[in-house]
Homo-oligomer: A and B are copies of this chain.
């Protein structure tokens, strides 16, 4: 048999590469990197957050968050505000610029979704989404199994 599985995986990996490059290039124009944009995205969803919470959300170390927040502060996307009840903690907060940028990211993502999937028949789109979701699940299962 010609290895159709390998072919499928190759296609998926290609998608990963192209999509990753596209995101990085788009973000660069707004003065952001992928990790910084991820942090911004998280703030948009969660509202002002401690660095500890962000570290957990992004699955990186506390040190890494310090660096990301340093960068985002220097470029005017967020500020460090005192935490209301815990004087050890800071409350990372979006500035007006940060807010606007986060919203623009969300809109850009919407637009990309429309561009990629907008002309697909509903049924095919639903099937495709389910297939990808199943793939993610299988991958997670493989990872769990492997992590023991």
Q: A4-B126, A16-B19, A16-B20 are in contact. Are A9 and B113 (CB under 8 A)?
A: yes
How would you classify the secondary structure of chain A's contact residues: helix, strand, loop or mixed?
A: helix
Interface residue total, chain A, C-beta cutoff 8 A: 43
Instruction: Please determine whether B115 and A12 come into contact, CB atoms closer than 8 angstroms.
Output: no
Q: Per a CB cutoff under 8 Å, which of B4, B22, B25, B140 touches A129?
A: B4
Instruction: Please determine whether A128 and B131 come into contact, CB atoms closer than 8 angstroms.
Output: yes
A139 CA to B115 CA, complexed, in Å: 8
Q: Per a CB cutoff under 8 Å, which of B15, B109, B128, B131 touches A6?
A: B109
Instruction: Please determine whether B115 and A138 come into contact, CB atoms closer than 8 angstroms.
Output: yes
Asked if A11 is an interface residue, CB under 8 A from chain B, the answer is yes
